[in-house]
Structure 1
Amino acid sequence: MKKLYIICNSHLDPVWLWNLSCGRSAWINTVHSVVRMMDEIPELKFTCSTAAQYRWIEETDPGLFRKIAALVEQGRWEITGGWEVQSDAVIARPETLVRQALHGKEYFRRKFGVEVTTAYCVDSFGHGADLPKILKETGFTHYVCLRMHDLPPLFTWKADDGSGVTVLRINSSYGTGGVTLAWLDDFLQEHVKSPLERQAMFFGVGDHGGGLSRIQLRWLQEAREKYDIVFSTLQEYFRDVADLPLPTVTGELGPVFRGCYTSCHEVKRKIARATRRLIAAEKLGVPAAELDSAWKDLLFFHFHDSLPGTSTRPVYERDVFPGLGGVESTADRLIDREMHRRGAALDTRFMGQGGVLCRNPHPEEHNAILAHTGFADPNGTGRYFNALRDESGKEYPLQILPPPSTFGPAGMAWGVLTAVVKLPAWSSRSFAYAYAEKEYPALGFAVQRALLDKLSFEVYFDDTHSWGFGLEKFSSLSGRAERIRTEEYVNGPVCSILRSEWKYGESGITLDLIRYAGIPETGVRIRLDWHEIKCALKLVCRHGLQKPEFLTGSGVTASRRLTGSSYDEVISCDWRHGKLCSRYPGSGEYSMIDWCAACSESASFAVYAPDIHSCDHADNMLRITLARPILYADHAPFPPDDYYGWTEQGVSERRLWLAELGPVSPEELPGMAAARLVNAESCEITAHEPGRDLYPVRDLPPVQIRPALLEAYRFNEDGDCEIHVRNPRGEAVEITLPEPAGKQTIPPRSLKIITWRPKENAQSKVHAS
């Protein structure tokens, strides 16, 4: 007789249609209900993920927490998942998924003595192709999930580096909240017809907690007279199917709900910045304990209804945005503290009127953009600063850019003091504000004018709601924005800005194309004053390449969305400009993390963007989705309500970089994007003698990891050095770390976490798949 394993659970989104306080209350109520029922029914077992929700119980009801611990020890309450929350698994950066595991698994080890090896993400909107690498590297062997294309209920999911996990695809749903007896009968009959001898059924009231239904439990007990049904844990189920031959699946499990790549840009912007600031603070040696709470908050708001943009407006305004603001503020404060502590130790008397301290966070030389709002002429001499000068006397041009305000304190000259300086790897340098006699030539606008001719804005009709139900590509063109004015806004030796104004309907767009001296990419600043709804706004890049590959950043490596062979067959023709023109296949809408590119044999065109996650390639154009105005939490087929308004209305900003390149290997693009998106840290300092009574500053030892990429580098909770490295290349690379870690080999297309005790202490610890 075929066997059915009942996995009792109670799915609860901590925030979604309800705020965080409501989610906490619902979870506490759910746990009380489940524990009572388990006391009444000794054979009942319960499976539960999400470290953040266990913490709620620990912090509010220690007696209830002890009951959970006792059930865990008895083998009846199963801790699964091992993450802080059930995160988004498509546009979340790989480093944040690594941190989900590091924080979540450490908590479960410390509080329950449990090593979680089954990852659990049953409600996220797709699963990235590199996720098996991340799961394997952080100690998982199995993965339980839902929401993907039609795949077997059990399979081995492999990434391109060979990493694999056993996947259980939930057959119907993670919960049975609305299930009737007739539905249960039908499910059991289908179970008998299935070729799989052992199946898992997820059972329990869910989608807002609730525990288990007594009526449904009675139905199950009655069905056991006819079927082989057992209450089980996931660990027990995986043990019983361990010997089954399983098919192998590769690639992304999705895409699902492509609209989520763009919905509510503000949450994506805040998460991107908060992530980079925490990583920057770690590189400056900030102790892990000082960042622990901020990391947990950041990981919490990667939840699969927060980052994708599908929660209600009150949830974002009351919980998500304030929470992420706290993360940013914590990281910024600690970065400032560490920079100024370093500044206090310097002899900066060569700075007659102050200057700048900067630190390169890259393991290679870096052209850093320094920009600080301040006095152009602090002593009223009638002469503006026009250079930075280091202690040896070497000069760099300095340019005063327009500030955010139209005036300075007491009406004095005020602006953004801007320079580009070349910094050696892992170095700190200080520069004085100075006056140069040399005249540096202005950059001009030739590059921007040539690029501007390749750019446009297109608007597509979109009524696919918050999630993008049924969305595969934006194909119904509503119109194009009209360029109404172009202005040479700023021109100097450090920076030139070509500004253009665009009009569409009741909306306006300001496009700034920004060139910096010594930096090959062109900065793009887009100010939207948007008042359209039910549409998607795209920045269109006519790169002019012949049959290029279309690639996106998607985790550890690049994802090929269109290859050269995709162009071998013309799919349709259009009548355009008085003649019949061929149309080649478009990619459809795809997710991106940090970059996307079109690459041909002779040239490439790339976009680097830290908080834009949606793009496509069609009609031989690279198109970046900038905005998708939606009603908050608008879910078909339920009637819409515009009381809380639409996202993306009014003034907002997008920042990105455009790179026109020669022939580039896709393996190079992740590093090129990272080098431009992560700038040096800097702060203004004054002239002074070296301080005598100083705070200790602990610097991480330099490492040599190129051509591998540095994801994170920190002193971890044990005081050890810990480095996260990824190798997007198709061959292994060797890196050199301080002893005792020494030389390490990073396998092809892989992610690796390495820890070591610095200096004379115990030998290195290496976490390797």
Structure 2
Amino acid sequence: KLYMIGNAHLDLAWLWRWEEAREEMLKTSRTVLQLMDQYPDFVYTCSQAAAYQWIEEADPELFEAICTKVKEGRWRIAGGWWVQPDVNIPCGESYIRQALYGKRYFLEKFGVEVKTGYNVDSFGHHGQLPQLLTHCEMDHYVFFRPKPSEKVLPATVFWWQASDGSRVLACRPPFHYNTSAEAIDAHIELAAKKIELHVGSEMLFYGVGNHGGGPTRKNINSIRQMQKRKDLPQIIFSDPESFFADIKPRAHALKVVEDELEFHSRGCYSTHSDIKRWNRFLEFQLLFAEKVSALAELKSGKKVPVEKIRQAWQTVLFHQFHDILAGTSIPEVYADADQALTETLVDVAGIINASVLALTGATSRFITNQWIVFNPVAWERTEIISLTVYFRGEVSSVRLEDASGVEIPVQIYSRIFHPDNGSFIEISFAGVLPALGSKGYRAVPDERNEPDFEEKTIVSFETDFYHLTFDPQNGLIQKIYDKENDVQVLAEPGNRLVVLNDPWDAWGHDVREFRDEIGSFRLNGDVTLEEDGAAFAKIRVDSRYGNSTARQTIYLYKHLRRIDFELFVDWQEQSKMLKVAFPINLTEFEGTFESPYGSVKRPVIGTEEPLQRWMDISGIYEGENNVEKAYGVSLLNDSKYGGDIKNSEMRLTILRSPVFAKEYHRLPQDLTGLAFMDQGEQKVRYSLIPHANGWQEAHIVRAAYAFNSRPETYWLQGELDAAEASYLKIDPENVVLTVFKKAENGQDWILRFYETEGRESFVNISLPVFSIRIEIPVHPHQVKSILVKEDGNQFTAVESSGMENPLEAGEEVCVTQICQE
């Protein structure tokens, strides 16, 4: 059979703003309903819950008409997600939320349980997606990119398998999701010749798309004519789910692909820094808001604002639409995004603030020099904390104490006194924070008279962990000596800001690598030591390239093995790319890049690769007397998604500056007057973590997660000793907890975690707020959800899906009561 899939792919924003897309969704839907009245056998497929919500709000009568056609089986819902997002950039949890909110919407409004994932226009698909699809009760997946010329697959239909063994039946239909009336006949004939190679059935898409449109009368009439031909297979108007149901009995013969479905547009992972920074920050803030609001309800009775959190997630999910988050839309789209995401951040920050106050007794206004510091991650950590201390009179020094009265060494890096306003003293210190919990501190005046640190020019600097040497001519780090492991980390000078020629479009169409280096930033001044105290040393390197300037601030810590970098760049270049490069002194190395809810090894050949919070190069270090040892270096970031590794050099892509939303074959010769991306100022944090052995032994996933989850500080009104608490802790170190939330049913609670290092493990979760401990096995690379039910003072827990439904074949969850101290 040839399954003809009538569709109208709609970009919810791209070369137009979302309001125009909404109008096109309404217009296309009305046209489709007219065609259904004219052609009783015509079937239409449409995805994206956000677009259906537009119709529901703007034209309830049209929405009801669609509901009727859905019940008749002629309007078929596919995808089950809120939008068709980019399928590399969002974090792993975002894909589960795409399904959670999308599938629940379709089930609530239409009574339809969507089983087929559908991202026909996205630019690539990460390798953990089969697990996330099955975790969200989906069995199939339809995609078009990468094209056959970009990724060779064994057939149009195959089993797609994730690293944990989860698999879905996937299909890359031939040709394209947009098919003109003139091309339909030829496509049907070509597909018919190869149909036996594809288990006897094939899907063919037709209809006008991108700006909506959908099937036309000419489309449908052409297909009807082809249906009359005796030399062709049976041709039917249908939908993807029916196609998969047809071939599933024969699917045992299909090949298995355990790989990413990449690459289509490698440049888009570094295009438009602002939208990507928004995405990373709001993902983490939303996950924290869920955790702390759930804890607040359990401890104080303050109800979780479930609907407000849901709306915030839906706004973030909408802006993960592939043409928005990838950075390939017009400037007006990003102006709209900035406004919507700013409003969302205000709402999320309000939820966090109110929940922390209810949970801990903190206050949002200054009363005394007492604080609680809240750790958003579910494991104990040591982190640098900064506070501003205020005294009414003139005070020059501070003593910091914890609840036991133990003095905490502090570093004073700013003092301001005004006779009318008092003293403001900025301090930093290394705090040991409990797992997903808080710790209290108080500041009191101190008699000690500590002189201000005086800046000085340096060529080297040493801590207990590292000895750094700088080139005074160019400001690069010449050497990083790891004292503990006796390793010279760099093969050549590092922290180099590399400028590359980048004449390509915003997508990076047809580009595999960016290697055309045309220069680098040059030192503008001296390498300057700005601070050196009890918490950290701060080194400043100013540099310039063309009309652009950069300030790199390097932080070396007394208590942390990280080397942190804060880059402020004022970028004034066009059609160029900026990377930061670290050549690592290794042989026989391999490169690993974080992917959503996982990681992937890729060839270290210099191709531009998508990544999440970290990338790593690990291999063999050859020391003196040819002594070899296993060693590696991880490069973390707080807002970037692209990079490359070649010849043991890691390069994180900081930015690209192509023309907005112009495909390269449509670019004019003269670019004067066109708008270029990433012009002006931006900030990024990145961090280097040298480590013995591989990244797994260094627990880099946790380190990168914490790097993106800074502690939150609040003034404390009550007793200091009551401020210290751990509300949730997860072990062992190869497991990361991402979710603790109120279930969508408004009654139960959801925990979600994943195994990060490829090891069979037994997970232990302590929940003092429930007075319980949960134990359950987790398998290598597995994402696992737990549904906790409360009945009076008794709690039970079962393994659940991402849709928050108990799993019939889930593993046993051991729940043990624990005594509160």
TM-score (norm 2): 0.84
Structure 2 residue aligned with 1:368: 383
In structure 2, the CA distance between the partners of 1:702 and 1:688, relative to structure 1 (3 Å rule), is closer
Of the three residues 270, 273, 276, the one matched with 1:268 is 276
Structure 1 residue aligned with 2:779: 747
The gaps in structure 1 that reach 5 residues or longer are: 563-584, 692-697
In structure 2, the CA distance between the partners of 1:402 and 1:180, relative to structure 1 (3 Å rule), is farther
Q: Deviations over 1:400-432 (max 9, x none)?
A: 4459xx998967554644332101223322211
How many percent of aligned residue pairs carry the same amino acid?
Answer: 27
**Contact conserved, 1:205 with 1:211, CA < 8 A, in 2?**
yes
Alignment of 1:281 with 2:289, yes or no, is yes
Alignment of 1:338 with 2:355, yes or no, is yes
Q: CA deviation at 1:687?
A: 6.6
Structure 2 residue aligned with 1:708: 735
1:641-652 aligned at under 5 Å gives the runs 643=673, 645-652=675-682
RMSD: 2.8
Q: CA deviation at 1:110?
A: 1.4
Q: CA deviation at 1:741?
A: 8.4
The gaps in structure 2 that reach 5 residues or longer are: 295-303, 471-476, 479-493, 621-629, 802-809, 811-821
Structure 1 residue aligned with 2:316: 298
Structure 2 residue aligned with 1:659: 689
In structure 2, the CA distance between the partners of 1:762 and 1:390, relative to structure 1 (3 Å rule), is closer
Structure 1 CA distance, aligned partners of 2:505 and 2:132? 31
Structure 2 CA distance, aligned partners of 1:354 and 1:256? 54
Q: CA deviation at 1:736?
A: 2.9
Alignment of 1:230 with 2:230, yes or no, is no
Q: Runs ≥4 in structure 1, deviation > 6 angstroms?
A: 406-411, 437-444, 687-691
In structure 2, the CA distance between the partners of 1:303 and 1:409, relative to structure 1 (3 Å rule), is farther
1:118-133 aligned at under 5 Å gives the runs 118-133=116-131
Q: CA deviation at 1:717?
A: 2.1
Structure 1 CA distance, aligned partners of 2:799 and 2:262? 32
Structure 2 CA distance, aligned partners of 1:108 and 1:465? 36
Of the three residues 242, 249, 269, the one matched with 1:243 is 249
In structure 2, the CA distance between the partners of 1:427 and 1:439, relative to structure 1 (3 Å rule), is farther
In structure 2, the CA distance between the partners of 1:743 and 1:666, relative to structure 1 (3 Å rule), is closer
In structure 2, the CA distance between the partners of 1:717 and 1:243, relative to structure 1 (3 Å rule), is closer
**Contact conserved, 1:736 with 1:742, CA < 8 A, in 2?**
yes
Structure 2 CA distance, aligned partners of 1:702 and 1:619? 40
**Contact conserved, 1:499 with 1:510, CA < 8 A, in 2?**
yes
Q: CA deviation at 1:615?
A: 1.0
Alignment of 1:675 with 2:706, yes or no, is yes
Structure 2 residue aligned with 1:189: 189
Structure 2 residue aligned with 1:327: 344
Residue 655 of structure 1 aligns to which amino acid in structure 2? R
Structure 1 residue aligned with 2:789: 757
Structure 1 CA distance, aligned partners of 2:202 and 2:536? 63
Alignment of 1:599 with 2:618, yes or no, is yes
Structure 1 CA distance, aligned partners of 2:777 and 2:20? 48
Alignment of 1:431 with 2:441, yes or no, is yes
**Contact conserved, 2:760 with 2:780, CA < 8 A, in 1?**
yes
Structure 1 residue aligned with 2:327: 309
SS where residue 277 of structure 1 aligns?
helix
Residue 720 of structure 1 aligns to which amino acid in structure 2? D
Alignment of 1:729 with 2:757, yes or no, is yes
Structure 2 CA distance, aligned partners of 1:702 and 1:717? 23
Q: Identify which range, 654-663 or 253-262, moves more after superposition.
A: 654-663
**Contact conserved, 1:102 with 1:138, CA < 8 A, in 2?**
yes
Of the three residues 393, 399, 405, the one matched with 2:411 is 399
Of the three residues 379, 398, 401, the one matched with 1:389 is 401
Structure 1 residue aligned with 2:261: 253
Structure 2 residue aligned with 1:516: 557
Structure 2 CA distance, aligned partners of 1:699 and 1:487? 40
Structure 2 CA distance, aligned partners of 1:408 and 1:94? 49
In structure 2, the CA distance between the partners of 1:514 and 1:537, relative to structure 1 (3 Å rule), is same
Residue 619 of structure 1 aligns to which amino acid in structure 2? N
Of the three residues 348, 351, 370, the one matched with 1:355 is 370
Q: Deviations over 1:379-408 (max 9, x none)?
A: 1223243x42122101223334459xx998
SS where residue 128 of structure 1 aligns?
coil
SS where residue 305 of structure 1 aligns?
helix
Structure 2 CA distance, aligned partners of 1:146 and 1:643? 34
In structure 2, the CA distance between the partners of 1:689 and 1:596, relative to structure 1 (3 Å rule), is closer
Structure 2 CA distance, aligned partners of 1:652 and 1:600? 34
TM-score (norm 1): 0.89
Residue 682 of structure 2 aligns to which amino acid in structure 1? S
Q: CA deviation at 1:307?
A: 1.0
Structure 1 residue aligned with 2:301: none
Q: CA deviation at 1:105?
A: 1.1
SS where residue 604 of structure 1 aligns?
strand
Q: How many residues align?
A: 727
SS where residue 27 of structure 1 aligns?
helix
Structure 2 residue aligned with 1:421: 431
SS where residue 193 of structure 1 aligns?
helix
Alignment of 1:201 with 2:191, yes or no, is no
**Contact conserved, 1:285 with 1:699, CA < 8 A, in 2?**
no
Q: Deviations over 1:39-97 (max 9, x none)?
A: 22221111111111111111122221111111111111111111100011112211111
Q: CA deviation at 1:681?
A: 2.3
Structure 1 CA distance, aligned partners of 2:325 and 2:355? 30
Q: CA deviation at 1:306?
A: 1.0
